[in-house]
Structure 1
Amino acid sequence: MLTLFLYISALDRKIVLLQDFQPLCAIATTSIGADRLRSICQPNNPVWVPRSLSSIAGVQAYSGSLKSHVAELWQSHRAFVFCLATGAVVRIVAPLLQSKATDPAVVVVDEAGKFVVSLCGGHQGGADRLTKIIAQLIDATPILTSASTSLGLPAVDLLGVPFGWHKGKGDWTEVSAAVVRGEPVQVIQEAGSTLWRSTASVRRSHLSFTPSPDATAEIWITPRLIQDARSRTPQIQWHPRVLWVGIGCERGTSRQLIEAALQQVCRENQLAAEAIAGIATIDLKADEVGLVELCHAYDFPLRTFPAEILSAISVPNPSPVVEREVGTPSVAEAAALCACLDLPETKHHTDSDRNVTPKLLVSKQIFKPNTPTPDSSTGAQPCAPTTPDLTGAVTIAIAQSEIEYTGRIGKLFLVGIGPGAIEQITPAAKSAIATADAVIGYSLYIELIAALLQPQQVIETLPITQERQRAQRAIELAQWGLTVAVVSSGDCGIYGMAGLVMEELQAGDWDGNTPQVQVFPGITALQAAAARVGTPLMHDFCAISLSDLLTPWQVIEKRLIAAAMADFVTAIYNPRSQSRVQQLQIARDIFLQYRAPNTPVAIVRAAYRQDEQIYLTTLEKLLDLPVDMLSTVLIGNSSTRTYANWIITPRGYLGFVPEMKE
């Protein structure tokens, strides 16, 4: 079963990239179009075709008109990808469009596979992002026509999506227009991550994070409901999910009573229900029907804590009665505070200057269906009107976490970018980079892939000596819920970042599923170097790094001797640094004990980059040429030869017995 699972997972990396758009509907009306979409969507999404094309493998045929078929699927699918004329798609979907807030993404691919068009639902439907993914997968040109996208400015209706923020009230169209027009827009952020402020799109805009008397619009990022009658400027409200609702209740309390009480608390304290992260309570209430139903209805996580944990939380209103009943003097207040402290994201500082101390916004309030007036001694509030469904009693308290709950399962894309040239990166790796929320890597690697980076992405670089810190930071963001691409030159799994990330995940007791991990291989240095000089790797070969930062030199030397004795073609990684100069000489001398002095050697520096340098020499003269950390050294075996400035290693010895030096 494990072998089958791994095989299926490796079968198609596109499944992970397209995961956010499921269920996805792909439609073509010709065999060429069907083949084009099958290369994108299979095996996860069968392509719909007319019944006349049902003989094509891996497709699903529809009967009747295409217009009727699309109408049937419209409400149940998050994205539609068509391979037919744009005009035809417009006529099909136009009667179905209702609101950009709810319409699915609509993308059109031309049969030649040269262009991918984001037709409808570019921002909120995700069509722009889906277009970029498909374009990278088939090496096509993405066509994005929204003003903010074309200008590289922030799309205000997407700002909080990576962080799980919920949209509130506001004039979204006018505020978006003000940003596109380059007008000063005031940002008032009272909660939530500030990572989005570091993006290139924000730096290009005229968003102001300090009071601006000239502002023509306002963006509020807050758990509160803003109703400022004095302000005549257009405004919008984003609500980060920072509110944790602590609940205690009698056994059998109805969902309707809990819901009515919660709505009343939010209304009286001017808190946005959209800012609620989830519900917290004592573990004795994990199966409370009313609570479970409420969480299911609103997609709230339910966090439960044992009495010994809750009793250790200091609260303003402890109750001896509650302590006698359940073993802790507080359930609602303690659970709300405890939920803020127990979040995985509070254990990983997503913003270095954040204080993760939660605060109690609403002290406990008790609600009973038949209480006629508020009780000052208990805080009991009536939940009118009384109905047969309002049964039981509920206590509610609300605490605010400094870090929001994203509600997303994070992803780690471990990406090999090859030797550095964009055309040498695989389409799947390009898509992974282009669609990530955050990209992390050594500054040189980030510069090499600059053409793939998006204005709205969080880009973080750390020095070449801080690989472990890069891995830890990527895991922090992914555990918080972001999709993070960690880039390495060459192949990320060969002397790259993938190994460090996996080691750190294991050290953190990773369950293998959250965050999700996908490895995107790249052309490694030995392959790139070999391709530039011929076919030196045509027979058995090995790779050895001369860096002793992580491997003792005694082990490296033992491997050099073994490779030289076994007549392996050998690729030398990290051959020489400014402080480490003797190792390459020692390696050369070891190989001279077992190889002829005229054994062909290639030194390839910065393969496929603008400053590429290539030297063909011999083992004896290896040290006469410049070699540094950007160089890969290829040492031939006993049958490797040089011909017309190319290095050739025969595919086999063909009866030739290599002459090994004693």
Structure 2
Amino acid sequence: MDTEVKTPVVFYVTKNGLNLGKHLKVIYPGTQVLKFKPEDVVRLWHKNKTFIFIMASGIAVRTIAPLIKDKRTDPAVVVLDEKGRYAVSLLSGHLGGANRIAKEVAGFFGGRPVITTASDISNLTAMDLWAEGNNLAIENWNLLPKISTRLIDNGRLNVYVEQVSGIKLPAEFLAVKAPKDADVIITNKAGGLRALPAGRQVLLSKLFLRPKDLVIGIGCNSGTSAEEIESAVKKTLKKNNLSFLSIHSIATIDIKGRETGLIAFAKKYNFKINTFTPDEINSVISNLCSLAFNFSAAAYKATGAKGVAEPAAILAAETDNLLVLKQKSGNLPVAKANLRGPGSGVRGQGEKLRTLPTGRQAPKSKLYIVGIGPGDIEHITPEAQRAIKESDVIVGYGTYLDLIKELIKDKEVVSTGMTQEIDRCKKAVELAVSGKNVSVISGGDPGIYAMAGLVFEVLRGQGVKGSRGQGINKSTYRSNPRTPAYRTGRLASSNPVVKVVPGISALNACASRLGAPLMHDFASISLSDRLTPWKLIEKRLNAAAMADFVIVLYNPKSKGRAEHIKKALKIISKHRNSGTPVGIVKGAMRENEKIVITNLKNMLKHDIDMQTTVIIGNSQTYVWEKWMITPRGYENKKK
């Protein structure tokens, strides 16, 4: 089972449980919330992939016990208490995604996830999840517990990788040069490896992972059955010592893509069928004339294509070479190609993604500019979380990335320092153009003194148009977050989809902590002169103060700009009396948050730095109890 979260089913017992269940629709759109009935659990067990029980764990355990079959097919089960304090990953923690769901649910409610899987507790890689994330099929599942125990006991595993590039081993997986020394062997060779000592016991001691890197090109007569197709494919694989588990997809001509036998075979094993027109197939034959394609007179007469199996495999695999030339088994010509680039785990480190020889269009990559607000998961919008989870690469300033480390721990991360914004944006655009989904992370809102503008400047400067993103696909959000771009069919594109995802800005967060200081017109001004001349900042300060705007000061003070806040105060004080309320908030909504309400006269007596936002009231702003309030004028309207 993969880790997608398809419309969870939430079962509750009490009204408190019902309320929690309704709230879960925010992070899991389409969630069904049902009053608990054991018969409903039984009815829905094989139809859904995620169950959340808001009740005592004992009730859930007794209900699902007779339904549990296999970790590969069992749905994820999470148990949540009625106050949202603990989210327990009960079943299918890894492949079903229950561990991840428990963390998301706990984070949403401000509770704690309860995870009991040994690899997670030991901070070690879960073999089943790692294999799935790298598009590797586990062959001998019965050996997985033994290998996992070995990893936990020894803290490492020896891994032999044969001719599979693009796979990055975690620190605890040590690459070995000889298969005989390995605990885990990654290869598409069906009968093991020649370098492996003979003997059944040796084979039984190794965990085999099969890369999904074979494209099967098939041409068949009309009416060929699924059984005949399966038999032909297996015979060809066996003859060439290749694993059936390494099949990634099927390739054929468009007219054969409608054959019921081929469709049934693909559906049985969840293989995608890639179809191509006769012109596309003939084009690749012309472009790759160095290959000795087997011309098929029968295929040409029936379809107009000079061949089917071989060129279709070449097209779908995006390679220039065939691994196995066409071999006829019964009525079926079958050819095989190693995947390269999109759709595989075998892209070389130095290879660039490329378009199909025929110019077929592939899905565009996405460039998200994401605001994470203050940084705590409960303050990050569901849309922002979806964007992050859909992304292959996360780009951002290290401090902000630390705030969301739980959301990005399985992602490729590009982290830079505070003054390297241009480098970050250029890298993000480069990655998006190469075919990857990318999220550029901003604290607060990306469109307010943050990364959105710079990303667009880089896009414009590089001539990358970028199309407007209409929203984040919620079904994509629930897809496997560990699947890299080159395994999702995206190709290099000069025009990725660009989407700005808003977040809670510093002025929103600070205003909420102070009360209601921004109820009337306000101006936001940054005191940083790194990008804006100080003379212009002074002009804006004077104009805002003169016009009686509430003034929000960003970047008020740093080690290199200690005097700027003093100069700003002097300018504003010309137009405001010394008793004007001032709110000072440092680290709004974060762990070490500090809130001060003072006035202009005493403002500089308090700690102010780059993590601080200062809000200076207008002539009508007042302090009531512990709140700073700027009236809108409703009282005057009543009179």
TM-score tier, shorter chain, comes to 0.7 to 0.9
Q: CA deviation at 1:44?
A: 1.9
Cα distance in 2 between the residues matched to 1:32 and 1:629? 42
Q: Deviations over 1:299-328 (max 9, x none)?
A: 314142523355223442135666976777
Map 1:154-553 onto structure 2 (within 5 A).
154-170=125-141, 171-182=143-154, 184-190=156-162, 194=166, 197=169, 202-203=170-171, 205=172, 207-211=173-177, 218-227=183-192, 228=196, 229-230=198-199, 231=202, 234-249=205-220, 255-282=226-253, 287=258, 291-297=262-268, 298-304=270-276, 306=280, 307-319=282-294, 331-341=308-318, 359-365=321-327, 367=328, 382-383=329-330, 392-402=331-341, 404-405=343-344, 415-420=370-375, 422=376, 425-426=379-380, 439-450=394-405, 452=406, 456-463=410-417, 464-465=420-421, 466-469=423-426, 471-472=428-429, 475=432, 486-497=440-451, 507-509=465-467, 512=470, 522-530=503-511, 535-545=516-526
Q: CA deviation at 1:172?
A: 1.0
Map 1:569-580 onto structure 2 (within 5 A).
569-574=550-555
Amino acid at match of 2:416: L
Cα distance in 2 between the residues matched to 1:329 and 1:292? 23
Amino acid at match of 2:14: T
Check conservation: 2:425, 2:440, Cα contact below 8 A.
no
Cα distance in 1 between the residues matched to 2:446 and 2:254? 43
Alignment CA distance shift 1:628-1:336 (3 Å): farther
Check conservation: 1:441, 1:470, Cα contact below 8 A.
no
Alignment CA distance shift 1:534-1:33 (3 Å): closer
Check conservation: 1:191, 1:240, Cα contact below 8 A.
no
> What TM-score comes out, normalization by structure 2 length?
0.72
Alignment CA distance shift 1:245-1:512 (3 Å): farther
Map 1:21-36 onto structure 2 (within 5 A).
21-36=5-20
> What TM-score comes out, normalization by structure 1 length?
0.70
Check conservation: 1:185, 1:219, Cα contact below 8 A.
yes
Aligned residues: 573
Q: CA deviation at 1:282?
A: 4.6
Q: CA deviation at 1:155?
A: 0.7
Gaps of 5+ in 1: 1-17, 51-61, 342-356, 368-381, 384-391, 657-662
Check conservation: 1:122, 1:128, Cα contact below 8 A.
yes
Amino acid at match of 1:462: T
Cα distance in 1 between the residues matched to 2:286 and 2:533? 51
Check conservation: 1:135, 1:142, Cα contact below 8 A.
yes
Check conservation: 1:471, 1:497, Cα contact below 8 A.
no
1:379 corresponding residue in structure 2 = none
Amino acid at match of 2:91: C
Q: CA deviation at 1:565?
A: 6.0
Cα distance in 1 between the residues matched to 2:153 and 2:509? 46
What SS is found at the alignment partner of 2:140? strand
Q: Deviations over 1:533-573 (max 9, x none)?
A: 66532322233456789899999899778755653323244
Amino acid at match of 2:94: H
Check conservation: 2:365, 2:433, Cα contact below 8 A.
no
Check conservation: 2:394, 2:412, Cα contact below 8 A.
yes
What SS is found at the alignment partner of 1:650? coil
Which residue, out of 89, 93, 113, partners 2:84?
113
What SS is found at the alignment partner of 2:373? coil
Map 1:578-593 onto structure 2 (within 5 A).
none
Superposition RMSD on alpha carbons, in Å?
Answer: 4.9
Check conservation: 1:409, 1:514, Cα contact below 8 A.
no
Cα distance in 1 between the residues matched to 2:94 and 2:225? 39
Q: CA deviation at 1:158?
A: 0.9
Alignment CA distance shift 1:549-1:605 (3 Å): same
Gaps of 5+ in 2: 346-361, 478-498
Q: CA deviation at 1:639?
A: 3.2
Q: CA deviation at 1:186?
A: 1.3
Q: CA deviation at 1:181?
A: 1.0
Check conservation: 1:28, 1:47, Cα contact below 8 A.
yes
Map 1:35-184 onto structure 2 (within 5 A).
35-41=19-25, 44-49=30-35, 66=38, 68-170=39-141, 171-182=143-154, 184=156
2:615 corresponding residue in structure 1 = 634
Amino acid at match of 2:114: I
Amino acid at match of 1:649: T
Amino acid at match of 1:45: T
316-325 or 106-115, which moves further after superposition?
A: 316-325
Alignment CA distance shift 1:331-1:137 (3 Å): same
2:489 corresponding residue in structure 1 = none
Cα distance in 2 between the residues matched to 1:653 and 1:622? 29
Amino acid at match of 2:125: P
Alignment CA distance shift 1:84-1:473 (3 Å): farther
Cα distance in 2 between the residues matched to 1:26 and 1:487? 32
Q: CA deviation at 1:157?
A: 1.0
Q: CA deviation at 1:595?
A: 6.2
Amino acid at match of 1:448: L
Check conservation: 1:438, 1:459, Cα contact below 8 A.
yes
2:481 corresponding residue in structure 1 = none
Cα distance in 2 between the residues matched to 1:433 and 1:254? 42
What SS is found at the alignment partner of 1:76? coil
2:357 corresponding residue in structure 1 = none
Q: Deviations over 1:422-444 (max 9, x none)?
A: 48735858976997776542111
